Chains A and B, each alone.
Chain A
């Protein structure tokens, strides 16, 4: 065998060995879906700008096929009414799908409270959605790995694998998860991953007429969201749980739950 033949055969052997090695590699959905290290999705909510119209909730339900009349939602808006005596009334009727059409505050069990304007110290609206935590407890507790985090930080649920145990619902301190009424598997906001991964904005961001919701890339220093997160006075929800939420709030007050 001359040198040329030896080299040719060696290359064939190496190539032959490389093919099954590549074929044996397990498909990792995290890498498949988002293998871009320059991307980390984050959300910015401006509580000063939100007027509680509920367009975002409506758009989310329609976009993500969460039954319109079901009493669960991927996102919702909370109304806070702080009285002069310091007491706080909070409600989110039907997740604010139709906005806040009445001044009466829902107290549950079919009861309502009406607060006279003179007694109100301040009132405001706070939109809520999945925080796509850096350290998501729902991913940690899922017994089958149906809930997983992509490399760009979004937590997704694989409907084919979820067994419907509800452990993720229990593990989330933000109460954003629920069982899908049709598919009977765990459901949550995923920043409209099918849209953002194609260069679009999430449905709620598009629907908000007041710019109260923004989505951006934390790894891009020129992104307006990143600029506000880095330079502005922003807050996150329930920091004490150590989940490191990636939904940032402008105008967060101590009353917000």
Chain B
């Protein structure tokens, strides 16, 4: 069986070599890079533009963005037919290819986020090392943390007021530089699709811009959702631990989800949501208005074959419903949870409709192809290009976040930047 045959169903005339080659992993790729970029933009809103209300979530989203970062290339790697040759893209880049830019942009962005994290947490590292060094009965974990922090300090032990101020300046500069790089990271993911002239649905210069806007939307939504979830889990864990040791701080002492943080962040979410939907609709209207040769087949896919996926699931359930939920007065945390889940679903469906929808019609403009998502895998290929492969990729950032949050504490650091 050739690659793609297991999940592609052909209808009417399709060229013999055509199959759905870019599957759910390529849906996951822009979805994950979007989350990376969006989470970073959210953290920068505080650092660069001084939106004070976002202070609490800024540090959180920066660490989360860093946790998401190594996961962005994972779907690409899983999708490659020759995954062991992935380093060829970095070692022998062919610069007329949009994919070849990946390594450069990705590494640049990674370095910016890592440096920003360092400036944010350097003071904390130094302080913790000093405290732990003086402690006599250190646990193994504390010794490990002390050694790790000593390494991470990179010899910069100065925590004078002036030095910390310099750190703060560094954070501001890096966050400022990071915004265009984050946008470029995701914009070029859009460019990968937008520059494929052979594909009538993808071929639009608006693609990178649409991708950036929806990236910010999804990044903010995931940060709100994870912020709420983490705070709640923290409270639950505190209550559970307190049963055994009543001396520990109570859940109320720890503080729960700050409603004003959620409200303020949601406002930015709605702003970017409006921008994303406007651009997507503009693209749709423009295509219909100009009605070039490909419009006949595009129309039959958009209004016919993919109507439910585009208008019901993406625009309806993923955009309109959360839009109403966020705009109704008196936003509660519970309503924000439902809204953000729906927004994330909407952005995922947008990626799906671009990637899978773009391959739903033959280059012959005479036939159609349908992607039947492999659910239960019967070999490695149907695993990685199917539901469980995507779920595995989607779960990894949270594992990274749990590990990273132990090194870079995201809560209880109200006094730092």
**Chain A contacts to B: CB under 8 angstroms:** 70-73, 76, 78, 88-92, 94-95, 107-109, 128, 137, 139-146, 161-167, 169-179, 181, 184-185, 240-242, 257
Contact = CB atoms under 8 A, between A and B. Distances in A.
Given A140-B97, A143-B97, A144-B88, A185 B12 contact: no
A145 B17 contact: no
A178 B363 contact: no
B230 interface: no
Contacts of A181: 1-3
B79 interface: yes
The prevalent SS among residues of B at the interface is: loop
B11 A76 contact: no
Nearest to A97: B16
8 contacts: A72-B16, A163-B80, A166-B81, A171-B196, A172-B198, A178-B3, A184-B3, A241-B198
Interface in B86-100: 86, 88-89, 92-94, 96-100
B99 A143 contact: yes
B362 interface: yes
A137 B293 CA distance: 20
Given A109-B10, A185-B82, 11 more contacts: A72-B2, A92-B15, A141-B196, A144-B94, A145-B94, A164-B80, A164-B82, A164-B85, A174-B15, A175-B364, A181-B3
Nearest to A88: B366
Contact of B10 (A70, A108, A178): A108
A233 to B, nearest CB: 23
A141 B97 contact: yes
Contacts of B3: 178-179, 181, 184
Nearest to B202: A170
B18 interface: yes
Given A140-B97, A166-B81, A171-B196, A90 B9 contact: no
Contact of A76 (B16, B93, B99): B16
A143 B99 CA distance: 6
A92 B19 CA distance: 15
Contacts of B10: 108-109
A71 B2 contact: yes
Q: Which residue among A71, A73, A78, A161 has the maximum number of chain B CB atoms within 10 Å of its CB?
A: A71
B99 A141 contact: yes
Contact of B198 (A146, A170, A179): A170
B400 interface: no
Contact of B16 (A73, A89, A172): A73
B2 A70 contact: yes
A167 B97 contact: yes
Contacts of B97: 140-143, 167
B83 to A, nearest CB: 8
Interface string B1-25: 1111100011111111111011000
Nearest to B1: A181
B394 interface: no
Contacts of A143: 88-89, 93-94, 97, 99-100, 102
B411 to A, nearest CB: 40
A90 B366 contact: yes
Given A71-B5, A72-B16, A165-B80, A144 B196 contact: no
B99 A240 contact: no
A176 B99 CA distance: 21
Contact of B92 (A139, A141, A144): A144
A179 B96 contact: no
Contacts of A178: 2-3, 17, 19
B81 A179 contact: yes
B251 interface: no
A52 to B, nearest CB: 14
Nearest to A172: B198
Given A163-B89, A178-B2, A137 B94 contact: no
B70 interface: no
A88 B364 CA distance: 13
Minimum-distance CB pairs A-B, first 8: A164-B81, A175-B15, A173-B198, A143-B99, A145-B94, A178-B17, A90-B13, A257-B364
Contacts of A146: 88
Given A71-B5, A109-B10, A185 B99 contact: no
A172 B80 CA distance: 18
Given A141-B196, A179-B2, A163 B88 contact: yes
Nearest to B293: A240
A107 B22 contact: no
Given A142-B94, A184-B3, A177 B82 contact: no
Contacts of A107: 11-12
Contact of B367 (A71, A72, A95, A108): A108
Q: Which residue among B76, B85, B102, B362 has the maximum number of chain A CB atoms within 10 Å of its CB?
A: B85
A125 to B, nearest CB: 14
B365 interface: yes
A90 to B, nearest CB: 4
Contacts of A166: 21-22, 79, 81
A244 to B, nearest CB: 13
B99 A165 contact: yes
